Amino acid sequence: MPAAVATVSRSRWKRPSRARVERIRAKLAEFYGVPLLAPHGRPLDELVLTVLSQSTNDRNRDIAYLRLRDALPTWAAVRDAPLIQVEEAIRPGGISKVKSKRIQAILRQLTDSAPAAAADPLDLSWMAAAPIEESRAALCALPGVARKTAACVLLFSYGIQDVPVDTHVGRVATRLGLLRPGAGAEEQHDEVCAITPPGAALEFHVNLLRHGRRICHSQRPDCGQCVLRRSCPARQL
């Protein structure tokens, strides 16, 4: 049986205390460890990788990505290539017709919207020092890019405090009472960012994700094995 959580209206919702968030964070860190992943400084690589990750597993995503880089080594080359060449390269990642169009649309929009004086319209390194709202807005204005993808780009490229909320993170955080049941994607992202302790965005994202994949499954959460069961309002025991 899934651990169903009834929807709560905004007016009745109370954000969890810092102490509670810290306890959950500490328990997860004790169980899963603290992930070490240095920001790689390549936002456009991360953006394309995130597009390729849709509806597939990590292995096929990586194969598609490496084949694309091999066939077309620069992002300008990917942008200007015949669509079929991009599609062929990323085929192992699935829904390649959709993804190839989206990748080229993103690269073209970045090129078209860059200031005329920009030396390289595909250079997104300005995001490293820009206000997070500005970078997020620029990313979310791109075709098919929403908050989760923008957060992946900012967090994994530059270690910026933005937390990607995918299906696992959203489900686990809701069951634990960190997110309002019934919250949409925008609210989930805003709230997770608001409650995440400073400097803990990567750790919180990765450990909530791990917990969702390994223990707090969508249909049959393994509450008997869960380190958070004592404090979880959705536990099934």
* Chain residues in the site for ligand SF4 (CB under 6 A): 3, 172, 175-176, 215-216, 221-223, 226, 228-229, 232, 234-236
Q: Find the shortest distance in angstroms from Cβ 12 to ligand SF4.
A: 21
CA pair distance 2, 235, nearest whole angstrom: 10
Q: What is the DSSP letter of 15?
A: P
Q: Find the shortest distance in angstroms from Cβ 115 to ligand SF4.
A: 47
CA pair distance 17, 162, nearest whole angstrom: 19
Pick between residue 190 and residue 222 the one whose CB is nearest to ligand SF4: 222
Helix count (H) and strand count (E) of the chain?
Answer: 11, 0
Q: Is 220 exposed, middle or buried (0-12, 13-18, 19+ CB in 10 A)?
A: exposed
Q: Find the shortest distance in angstroms from Cβ 187 to ligand SF4.
A: 20
Pick between residue 109 and residue 236 the one whose CB is nearest to ligand SF4: 236
Taking phi over 0 as left and psi of -120 to 50 as alpha, with beta for the rest, 94 belongs to left
Pick between residue 95 and residue 223 the one whose CB is nearest to ligand SF4: 223
Q: Find the shortest distance in angstroms from Cβ 19 to ligand SF4.
A: 18
Pick between residue 98 and residue 223 the one whose CB is nearest to ligand SF4: 223
